[in-house]
Each structure stands twice: as structure tokens, then as C-alpha cells.
Amino acid sequence: MSAGDGTSGFCAARRRWLEGTVVCAGLLHVSLATGASPDPARQPPQKGDVLAFPPDRNGGRDIIASDLVAGAEPLLAYPRDPASGVLRARSRLNQILLLKGDPGALDRIAARHSLDGVLAFSGVCTHAACGVSSWRPETARLVCPCHGSEFDPAAHGTVTTGPAPRPLPILPLARQGEHFVVAGAFTGKVGVKKP
């Protein structure tokens, strides 16, 4: 089924995983203007942050490897500062989609950023910054419901249909035991890129 099959079919074919989730509003806060310290809950992912569920999912606990099922819809995650325990969920730019694919099916770039097939993508659409909140299981595509852009995680988040101009940025990962930690900055600008 394609996005052109009609709205009802399109909606039926996808699964939404953001429903029921409290999505924090507001863009990344710039506190330098006031001289205040940056709010750690609004800071972008920092190296060493642990990936965790949102507060209303599984008690907001840290995500572990066994939470991920190959080929299943992504898990919504946020970075958490392991030192302070602060979940950086006050900026929706920090929404992360964590999924597990077939390592043999990943292209070169996706494979380079994956851990045994596990990849972390920005959950913010590169078209107009809506949440990429749906999953098309029959094609394993991440879907933005606002204007129908679809992204192929196995092809490092490449746009396969719709108006989004860029792939979803990837967040490099490392493993610490069963946990996933941030290994570096997103591979590109999260959300809309101004010309």
C-alpha cells in the first residue's frame, strides 16, 4: 500500500507509537540571552548519555538491548544524563527513534552507525519538523504523518517519498553493557535546515 492509496488506507497501514505520549513542546531553549545556565533537560544529546523511555513508557527506565525486536516498530527514546539522572525531554528536538534492523540489509552508512543492526534516528521530520511518529511495517519505513514523507532506516534514513529534503540524522551509539549510550552528535541538523 502506498501513501497515494487514500487517507484511510494510509492511516490503517501505519502504526503510531507516539499516541498517549506526552510530547514536550518548544524548541531548543537558548538561555545565553539571559545569562542563565542551560537547562539540562533541554540540552541536545551529550556524549555518554543513556537512552531511556519517555516518562509514560515503562516507567521511563533505561532501554536495554532486549527491548528491541528486529524488524519491529521503533522505540521512542530520550537521552538521559547518567550523572544527574535528568531526562533531556524538554526539547522535542531530542526525540530519538531506536530500532533494530537486519545487519545484512543495511547500506554502508547505516552499517557504520549501527550496533548489531541497532540504529538511532532523529524523530523530527526534516520537512517541517513534525514528529516522525508512524511506522509502515510492510515496507519498514518511518513515516511522518504531516505530509507523508517516508524514510528508509536501512538506507541511513534516506527519503523514499514525500517532500522531506534530507534524510533523518543518525545519532551515533555505543553499548555499555545492556544499555545504549550516545557516542557523538547527530550526523546532521535535526529538523528544518534553513537555507
Residues that bind ligand FES (CB under 6 A): 125, 127-128, 130, 144, 146-147, 149, 162-164
Taking the complex as a whole, the smallest distance from the CB of residue 157 to ligand FES amounts, in Å, to 13
Q: Closest CB to ligand FES among 114 and 149?
A: 149
What does the buried/exposed string (b/e) look like for 112-150 if buried means 16 or more CB atoms within 10 Å of the residue's CB?
A: ebbbebbbbbbbbbbbeebbbbbbbeeebbbbbbbebbb
Angle ∠(70,75,79) on CA atoms, nearest 5: 125
Nearer to ligand FES, 76 or 106 (CB): 76
Nearer to ligand FES, 68 or 76 (CB): 76
Q: Is 10 helix (H, G, I), strand (E, B) or coil?
A: helix
The CB-of-143 to ligand FES minimum distance in angstroms stands at: 9
Measured from the CB atom, is 3 or 52 closer to ligand FES?
3
Shortest distance in whole angstroms from residue 127 CB to ligand FES: 3
163, HSE (Cβ side, Cα atoms, 13 Å): 9
